């Protein structure tokens, strides 16, 4: 514990030989961070510039990619500073903020993926009603809800956690995640119940809704040959993103709760994978698998060359 300026500091113990490989770690992760920002914002700008992409589906994709940049910004700057620092520490308040912001954006991703699934469901299963249902006001309301509702949910968790007394000042990982509760002197039943509520509300229910809508799309596609290709072109990228994000989220939630004797380097590699795969995976999938976006990207790179 560090009492400088009456601030409580938490030490990260998950770094592997950071003093020996600090510059290598920094260069690799800084390059990845730049790639995340440039790739995501490239597609977002393409969607904003071209009028034929001003449709609900592409607007939701842009929102999802903005989320990826925000998530990375909540993680990477602190991670890069730690690589170059003699001590890998963070204030308890800063740790709670990193935990809140990363999980808020993760739940927001689930909400956005649910909205995108609903958008595809209406487009494929009720095409005649699509323009009536997915109006500009509805799209704005969906986007507002996808960011504000998770923020409100996790703000309550933040306030409940901030009031808890901590007795441990060392974390095994390199990031602040749900393991922050292990710092508390006593386990809180209220926090455990609320955490379960957040998990069900922010992950399980959206996932079930997505599976239901895509099951309905699959049934309609099976009956009507004319919509099979359209469904495959627009739904496959969303499903790939969903599978990737769900697997990474399940790992992040379950690993701290499963007492497995992983070596330090294994935990370090797994933590690094969490912050690399999802933010980079999204723009690659949408850039390659969404035909309209791919065409605009192709023209852009041809002009640059």
pLDDT digits (tens, 9 = 90+) for 23-70: 999 999 999 999 999 999 999 999 999 888 899 989 999 999 999 999
pLDDT at 1 over 50: no
pLDDT at 275 over 90: no
Provide the residue ranges of all domains of the chain, joining segments of one domain with +. 4-304
Q: Which residue, 170, 147, 169, 150, is CA-closest to 158?
A: 150
For the chain, percent of residues with pLDDT exceeding 70: 90
9: left (phi over 0), alpha (psi -120 to 50) or beta: beta
Instruction: Name the β-bridge partners of 199.
Output: none
Cβ atoms 161, 96 nearer than 8 A: yes
CA distance 74 to 85: 18
Kindly indicate the confidence band of residue 267, based on its pLDDT and cuts at 50, 70 and 90.
confident
pLDDT digits (tens, 9 = 90+) for 107-138: 999 899 999 999 988 988 888 888 888 999 99
| DSSP letters for 71-103 | HHHHHHHHHHHHHHSSS-EEEHHHHHHHHHHHH
Kindly indicate the confidence band of residue 176, based on its pLDDT and cuts at 50, 70 and 90.
confident
CA distance 39 to 282: 9
CA distance 33 to 76: 7
pTM of the prediction?
0.88
pLDDT at 229 over 70: no
Residue 56, classed as helix, strand or coil, is helix
Kindly indicate the confidence band of residue 196, based on its pLDDT and cuts at 50, 70 and 90.
confident
The predicted pLDDT at position 111 comes to 93
The predicted pLDDT at position 37 comes to 94
Cβ atoms 83, 26 nearer than 8 A: yes
Mean pLDDT of the chain: 83
pLDDT digits (tens, 9 = 90+) for 277-291: 888 888 888 887 788
CA distance 47 to 54: 7
pLDDT at 4 over 70: no
Report the greatest alpha carbon distance in the chain: 68
Indicate the angle between helix axes 56-84 and 136-162, nearest 10 degrees.
Answer: 30
Q: Which residue has the higher pLDDT, 155 or 260?
A: 155
Sheet holding 9-12, edge to edge: 89-91, 9-12, 170-171
Question: 107 φ, ψ to 5°?
Answer: -65, -35
CA distance 99 to 176: 5
Task: Domain 4-304: state its class.
Answer: mainly alpha
pLDDT digits (tens, 9 = 90+) for 181-192: 778 887 778 887
């Amino acid at each position: 514990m560090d009492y400088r300026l009456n601030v409580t500091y938490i030490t990260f113990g998950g770094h592997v030989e950071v003093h020996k490989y600090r510059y290598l770690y920094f260069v690799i992760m800084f390059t990845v961070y730049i790639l995340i920002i440039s790739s995501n914002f490239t597609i977002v700008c393409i969607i904003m510039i071209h009028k034929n992409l001003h449709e609900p589906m592409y607007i939701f994709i842009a929102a999802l990619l903005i989320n990826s940049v925000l998530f990375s910004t909540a993680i990477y700057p602190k991670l890069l500073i730690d690589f170059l620092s003699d001590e890998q520490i963070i204030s308890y308040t800063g740790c709670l903020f990193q935990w809140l912001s990363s999980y808020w954006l993760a739940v927001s991703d689930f909400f956005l993926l649910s909205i995108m699934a609903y958008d595809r469901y209406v487009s494929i299963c009720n095409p005649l009603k699509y323009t009536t249902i997915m109006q500009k006001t509805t799209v704005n309301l969906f986007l507002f809800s996808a960011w504000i509702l998770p923020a409100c949910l996790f703000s309550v968790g933040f306030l409940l956690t901030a009031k808890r007394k901590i007795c441990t000042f060392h974390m095994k990982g390199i990031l602040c995640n749900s393991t922050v509760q292990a710092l508390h002197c006593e386990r809180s039943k209220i926090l455990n119940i609320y955490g379960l509520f957040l998990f069900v509300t922010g992950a399980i229910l959206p996932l079930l809704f997505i599976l239901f809508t895509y099951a309905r799309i699959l049934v309609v596609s099976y009956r009507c040959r004319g919509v099979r290709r359209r469904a495959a072109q627009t739904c496959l990228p969303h499903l790939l993103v969903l599978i990737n994000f769900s697997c990474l989220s399940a790992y992040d939630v379950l690993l701290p709760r499963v007492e497995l004797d992983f070596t330090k380097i294994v935990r370090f590699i797994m933590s690094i994978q969490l912050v690399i795969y999802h933010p980079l995976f999204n723009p690659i999938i949408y850039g390659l698998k969404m035909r309209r976006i791919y065409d605009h990207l192709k023209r852009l790179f041809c002009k640059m060359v």
